[in-house]
Amino acid sequence: MEILHRRRATVEEVRAELPDAPSPSSVRKLLDIMIDRRLLGREYDGPRFVYYPAATLENASRSALKQLCARFSTTPLDRRRRPCSTWPGRRSRTRNTGG
């Protein structure tokens, strides 16, 4: 996904940036799975498909952080109490009473 957030890419361009890249059919299958999950989009560009992220980098980052926090919240109480209350850019829920 990180590769595609930098620029739109074909299967071969994605493979070129992966260390120990799997076969083209394996990369294509993973990209197809991400399309089914609505994480990626693709369009036909001449003889090949070009893949691109379906969400903005900011939205994808926020979603990943939310999932990470949920995964490492140890108890249901932790999840209800303050799940990732220190997220960058998160709005405070406290009211300023002017005092």
Does any domain span residue 91? no
Instruction: Record the pTM.
Output: 0.61
Q: Is the pLDDT of residue 78 over 70?
A: no
DSSP state of 9: B
Q: Return the ∠ at Cα 67 (arms to 24 and 54), rounded to 5°.
A: 45
Does any domain span residue 93? no
Task: Determine the Cα–Cα distance for residues 9 and 55; give it in Å rounded to an integer.
Answer: 15
Does any domain span residue 81? no
- For 9-61, write each residue's pLDDT tens digit: 999 999 999 888 899 999 999 999 989 988 889 999 889 999 998 877 777 77
The CATH number assigned to the domain holding 35 equals 1.10.10.10
3-state DSSP assignment of residue 49: strand
Does any domain span residue 82? no
- Looking at the structure of the chain, the number of domains it has is 1
Cβ burial, residue 18 (10 Å; 0-12/13-18/19+):
exposed
3-state DSSP assignment of residue 68: helix
**Domain boundaries, position 46:** 1-76
Does any domain span residue 66? yes
